[in-house]
Amino acid sequence: MQYSDIDLGFNQSMVSKGSLDVVKKLQRAGYDGYLVGGCVRDLILGTAPKDFDVTTNATPEEVKAIFHRGRIIGRRFKIVHVRYGREIVEISTYRAAPGKPKKNWFGLRKKTSDSQRVLDDNVYGTLDEDVVRRDFTVNALYYNPVEESVLDFVEGISDAGSGILRMIGSVPVRFGEDPVHMLRVVRFKAKLSLTLVDEVEHEIRPNVVLLGEVPPARLFDEVLKLFHHAHGVRSWEELKKYSILDLLFPLTMKSFDIETEVDYEKLVLDALGNTDRRINQGKPVIPAFLFAALLWAPFKREYEAIISSGSPLGEAMWSAGDRVFEIQNRTVSVPRRVSGPAIEIWSMQNRLVQRRPRTIDRLLENRRFRAAYDFLLLRAQCGEVDTEVAQWWTDIQECDSDGRRAMIDGLRDGFSKSSRRAKSKNGVASDPGANSTRRKRPRNRRSKKSVGKQ
């Protein structure tokens, strides 16, 4: 069914100039050109879209010929990115069902796995075929901003107005074709406060195991979409409800089952809440901070186990961190540019707690200080660190140079030899980060890339 954008109350000023230009150029070249997916859904709901996707009957190669600045990306699902300043417009070709396997130099190239997960989605089709390849009815709306009309083949407009999330086609089949659909269900439910139809609600838990077939690197991107888009707390609650967290973060969830004086799940939820607030305030966030919170509890257990065996403290810090991320990478692969800074955040914790006068200036100038300080505040909130220590670090950042000197001198006056090193009953530091400056982290060229501040 075709609707007028005026009847739907569209605010055309919300449509980006880049996406409008892409649609016009595709149509001038004789091809179809529609805005599709989340941007149309957001326009219907009256919210400003953050990203604009365009779909067409032109192949990626034909699109590239029109947009010389375009870049073809992807293997399983080829698309074209066209940059307009800071904006990137994504252009995809109409998709059809995967079809039969094709032969290549190495034999038969399968388009689906034995469990029917789609391995090759570069099967181009018509607009009618593309509709049924979309995931949800609210994401299968096609907007032509030139003609100011919206095409709706699956009652997506009605579902959007009713706040319903409905999948297109058989739910078990769609989950089998791409298990990431389950994560998208959770994300849209959390982001848009949508209600799941019964069939979707009942089919998630029985199919969670299929997420184990998804490449861990792809799941890293999906985790960031869940937790770095201002609805992280709600996403966590929904993932927990459907037992998806046990598959994504097995070490973390097992550590929550161990009885301790500290509520580590509260630390994670506080971290997600802090991230949600920063995003809503337009402040930057970094994945390293997120994963430092998610894996703090299993890291502490691993670190304590290593130092109890007599390993040098600084070496134990990085060994424990590497071990935890090695296991985590089996389910959600965390790149070294993220895991390295996360371990640095952990390694600074005990130095922040100890507050050795001679290290204060260096800590304040450390590029990870702000993230490590924010993490210290989380630990104080869940009772793992004395709130007086956290407040001291807050105060010293607000002082002028004279005030800072006075605070550091105050530490020197009360800093006794017995307080300079946290010791366990065996005479070795038991808190992560203690004396970790004795031995430097093993050199790793891949981790040199800097990540922004939390």
Angle at 395 between CA 353 and CA 264, to 5 degrees: 45
Amino acid at 26: L
Q: What is the pLDDT of residue 114?
A: 55
| 370 contacts 451 by C-beta, under 8 angstroms | no
* Listed residue (12, 92, 15, 91) closest to 50, CA to CA: 15
Angle at 285 between CA 279 and CA 286, to 5 degrees: 150
Catalytic site residue from 32, 53, 121, 431: 53
Q: Who contacts 345 (Cβ-Cβ below 8 Å, separation ≥6)?
A: 288, 289, 292, 368, 371, 372, 375
- What are the residue ranges of helices labelled H in 281-312? 287-294, 296-308
Q: Is 135 a catalytic residue?
A: yes
Q: Is the pTM of this model over 0.85?
A: no
Q: What is the pLDDT of residue 5?
A: 75
On the question of pLDDT at 441 being above 80, the answer is no
Q: Is 51 a catalytic residue?
A: yes
Amino acid at 16: S
On the question of pLDDT at 444 being above 70, the answer is no
pLDDT tens for residues 221-270? 999 999 999 999 999 999 999 999 999 999 999 999 988 889 999 999 99
Angle at 270 between CA 265 and CA 271, to 5 degrees: 95
| Region 321-337 average pLDDT | 97
* Listed residue (423, 355, 425, 346) closest to 386, CA to CA: 355
**Local confidence band at 313 (pLDDT 50, 70, 90 cut-offs):** confident
Question: Which domains occur in the chain, in start order?
Answer: 2-162 (3.30.460.10), 166-248 (1.10.110), 260-447 (1.10.3090.10)
Catalytic site residue from 21, 51, 246, 263: 51
DSSP label at 100?
A: S
Catalytic site residue from 5, 32, 121, 135: 135
Q: Who contacts 170 (Cβ-Cβ below 8 Å, separation ≥6)?
A: none
| 279 contacts 287 by C-beta, under 8 angstroms | no
Q: What is the pLDDT of residue 146?
A: 93
Decide: residue 376, CB within 10 A, 0-12 exposed, 13-18 middle, 19+ buried. buried
Report residue 306 CA to chain centroid gap: 30
Q: What is the pLDDT of residue 425?
A: 33
**How do beta strands 79-84 and 87-93 pair?**
antiparallel
Report residue 371 CA to chain centroid gap: 17
- The Cα–Cα gap between 436 and 423 comes to 13
- What are the residue ranges of helices labelled H in 134-231? 156-162, 171-177, 180-192, 198-207, 216-227
* Listed residue (196, 206, 144) closest to 172, CA to CA: 206
